[in-house]
A and B are shown apart, each in its own frame.
Chain A
Amino acid sequence: MPDLHPGLVLIFGALLVALLRGRARSTAALIVPLAALILVWTVGDGAIWTSRLAGYPITPFAVDKLSRLFGTIFALMAFGGALFALNQSARLELPAAFLYAGAALGVTFAGDLLTVFVFWELMAIGSTLVLWSAGTNSSYQASLRYLMIHLTGGVLLLIGVAGHALETGSLQFVAMAPHGLSQWLILAAFLVNAGAPPISAWLPDAYPEASWSGTVFLSAFTTKIAVYALMRGFPGAEPLIYIGLYMVFYGIIYALLENDMRRILAYSIINQVGFMVTGIGIGTDIALNGAAAHAFTHILYKALLLMSAGSVLYMTNKRKCTDLGGLFQSMPITALCGIVGALAISSFPLTSGFVSKSMTVQSAADEHLLVVWLLLGVASAGVFLHAGIKFPWFVFFQKDSGLRPPDPPLNMRLAMILFAILCVGLGVFYEPLYRLLPYPVDFQPYTGAHVVSQLQLLLFSGLAFFVMLKWLRRTLTITLDVDWFYRAFLVAAVDRIEGSVTAMRDRITGKLRGGGARVSGAVRRLHDSQSILARTWQSGTMAMLMLIMLMTLLVVGYLV
C-alpha cells in the first residue's frame, strides 16, 4: 500500500462529508477517521515523504513513537466525536471538525517546522469554522477573538521558524533549547495554543460557545497539539514547570467560581494541560511518559465529560448550573457516563487518569522537587473538587430543577458509552498504553501505597466539598480574566479616543470655519456688489477725483 498521510485522508474526508447527504454521509463520517486510524498504525517508522523547499530539506511526513501515540488518539477522537455529532443539524460542523482533526494529524506527523506551521494555521481555520457552525451571535463574536489570538500565535511561529532556519541552517523539528529570540518565539507560539498565561482566557471564552457537539472536538486538538509540540521541541525547559503550575491553579480557581457547566470543563482543560506542561518542564523519561500518557487519557475523559454536558445542553437547551440539577433521574446514561469521566479526570484508581497522571506526580518526587510535588498534590485534590465532583453534582444532583429530559439519541449514547469503556478499560488494562509511550516505562501504578494515598487524597477532598458546599453555591456570574483587557478596557479606550478625536475635529473645523468666515467677510466687505471696490461710481465723482489728481501733479511739478 502506498504511504497515505492520515491527516490528508481526514482533510479529503472533510470534503467528502461536506458533499454527501443522509446515510452515505453518516457512513463516510465514521469510516474516514477509522481509515486514518488504520493508516496511523500501519505506516512504518522514519521519514516517509521528503522534499526540498527554498534550499532546505523538509520532511512533511515522518513517524516515530511519539507521533504515533498522538496520531492514534487524534484519529480515535475524530471517530468518537463524529459518532456523537452524527445528528448535528449544522452541516458545516463535521467537515470543519475533520479539517481541524486532519490538520492536527498534519502537525503530529510533520518532520520539519515549516510543515508544522502550515498545519498549525489550518488548525486555527478549522477550529474557527467549528465555532462558526454554532450559528449564534455570541459564538461568532467569540470566534473572532479566538481567531485573533491564534493568528497572532501563527505569526509568532512563522517569525520564530524563519529565524531558527537562518540561524541553524535547518528546518528539522527536533528538540531545541530556548536560548535565542527565534526559539523563544516558537516556544511562545506553542504556549499560546496550550492556553498558557497570560492569555489563557481565549479557551474558556471560545469553547463553551460552540454547539453541543462542537465543543467536544475543540477540547481535544488545539491544546494537546501544543503539548505534543512542546514535548518534541522543548523537553526539560525549566520555565515550563512554573508555567504549568500556574495553569494548574488558574484552572482550578476559575472553575470553582464558574456557573456555565461547559466553561467549568473548559477551565479544567487548562488545569489538566498544566500538569502535562509541568511534566515536560521536569523533562525526565518518566515525566515525559507521564505527560504523553496524560494527554492520551485526558482527550478521552474530557471528551466524555463534554459529551455528557453536550447531551444535557442538547436535551434541555440550558447551560448554567443555576438552571440545572436533578437530571440523573431521567438521564441515567448521561449521568453515569459523566460520572465515569469525572472519576477519570480525578485519577480515581481503576480509571485512565490514575495510570497516567500519577506518573507526572511520581517524576516530581523522583527528582526531589518537594515544592513542585506538594503543589501537584494540592492540584490533584483540586481537580476532584472543581471537575470531579462539582460538574456531576451541580448538573445531575444538587437541587431538583424539575427538568425531566430523557437520555439523548442513540448515536450520542453510543459515543459516550464507547469513551466511558475506554476510560475504565485503560485504567484496568494499562499495559497497551504504556507500550505506546515514547520511552521505556518503569512504573507500577497499582501498589498498595499508591492506591491508599490516592483514595485518601480524593475522598477527603470530597469531604471538604460537601462540608463547604455553602461556600460553593452557584451565582449568576462570570469571572473577569485577562481578556477583560481587550474585551472591555481596549473597547472603552477606543471609545474614549474616538470621542476625544471627534471633539478635537469639531473644535478645529469650528476654528477654521470661524477664520474662514472672517476672511470671507472681509473679502465681501471690499468686493461685494455694493462694497467699496466693486460698486459703480458716478461719473461726477470720477471727474472730481481726476481733478484732484491733476491738481496734485501740477502742484508737485511746480514745486520741483
Chain B
Amino acid sequence: MEQHWLTRPETIRKLWRLFIAVLAAVVLAEVLVPREAHFDVDRLFSFYALFGFVACAVLIVVAKALGVLLKRPDTYYDDEAGDA
C-alpha cells in the first residue's frame, strides 16, 4: 500500500516545525493586542499558554490515576446480556 503523503516521516517532521512556529507566534502576538485582564493572575505574560499546557498535563495525570482504580476490561458487564 502506498504511503499517504501526510503519514510520511518527513511530512510529520515539517508539521511539528510548523506547529512550534505557530505556538511561538500566538505567544508573541500577545504583545500586539491590547490587554484585557480580569484578575491579577492573567496579567502574567503568556498566562493562557502556560495555563493550557499545565491544565491538560494535570488532567491527563489525574485521569491516568483514576484509570488505575476504575478501569476494567470492556467485557466487564457482558454476562448481564444473558438475562434478556
B63 to chain A, nearest CB (A): 4
Tell me, yes or no, whether A147 is within 8 Å of chain B by CB.
no
Q: Kindly state the separation between the CA atoms of A334 and B13 in the bound complex, as whole angstroms.
A: 26
Residue of B nearest to A322 (CB): B74
Given A141-B80, A378-B55, verify A329-B50 contact (CB < 8 Å): no
Residues of B within 8 A of A378 (CB): 51, 55, 58-59
A-B contact count (CB 8 A): 158
Q: Which residues of B1-49 have CB atoms within 8 Å of chain A's CB atoms?
A: 1, 4, 6-7, 19, 22-23, 26-27, 29-30, 32-36, 38-39, 41-42, 46-49
Residues of A within 8 A of B1 (CB): 402
Q: How far is the CA of A217 from the CA of B65 in the complex (A)?
A: 34
A150 and B3 CA atoms in complex are apart in Å by 49
Query: Does B36 lie within 8 Å of A487, measured CB to CB?
Result: no
Residue of chain B at shortest CB distance from A389: B56
**CB pair A477 B72 closer than 8 Å:** yes
Q: Among A117-125, A250-258, A529-537, which stretch is in contact with chain B?
A: A250-258
Mask for B65-83, Cβ within 8 A of A = 1, else 0? 0110011111011001101
Interface residues of B (CB under 8 A from A): 1, 4, 6-7, 19, 22-23, 26-27, 29-30, 32-36, 38-39, 41-42, 46-53, 55-64, 66-67, 70-74, 76-77, 80-81, 83-84
Contact B30–A452 (Cβ < 8 Å) = yes
Q: Is the CB of B34 within 8 A of A138?
A: no
Distance (whole angstroms) from the CB of B69 to the closest CB of chain A? 8
**Contact, CB under 8 Å: A476 / B73:** yes
A452 to B26, CA, bound (A): 6
* Contact code string A502-527 (vs B, CB < 8 Å = 1, else 0): 00000000000000000000000000
Q: Which of A328, A450, A461, A468 contacts B36 (CB 8 A)?
A: A450
Q: How far is the CA of A260 from the CA of B30 in the complex (A)?
A: 39
Interface size on A, residues (CB 8 A): 60
A contact residues vs B (CB 8 Å cutoff): 137-138, 140-141, 252-253, 256-257, 259-260, 320, 326, 328-329, 365-366, 368, 370, 373-374, 377-378, 381-382, 384-385, 400, 402, 447-465, 468, 471-472, 475-481, 487-488, 491
Q: Are A452 and B33 in contact (CB under 8 A)?
A: yes
Question: Nearest Cβ in chain A — how far from B33, in angstroms?
Answer: 3
Contact indicator A477/B59 (Cβ below 8 Å): no
Q: How far is the CB of A381 from chain B (nearest CB, A)?
A: 4
Instruction: Decide: B59 and A252 in contact? CB cutoff 8 A.
Output: yes
In the bound complex, what is the Cα–Cα distance between A246 and B5 (angstroms)?
Answer: 43
B53 neighbours in A (Cβ, 8 Å): 460-461, 463-464
B48 → chain A closest CB, angstroms: 4
- Tell me the nearest residue of chain B to A145, going by C-beta: B80
B66 touches A382 (CB 8 A): no
State whether A478 touches B76 (Cβ < 8 A): yes
B60 touches A471 (CB 8 A): yes
Measured CB to CB, the closest approach of chain B to A455, in angstroms, equals 5
* Residues of chain A within 8 A of B60, CB atoms compared: 256, 385, 464, 468, 471-472
A–B Cβ pairs within 8 angstroms, 7 of them: A461-B53, A468-B60, A478-B77, A479-B70, A480-B70, A481-B70, A487-B80
Q: Which single residue of chain B is at the shortest CB-CB distance from A379?
A: B55
Most buried by A among B32, B77, B84: B77
Q: Is the CB of B74 within 8 A of A477?
A: yes
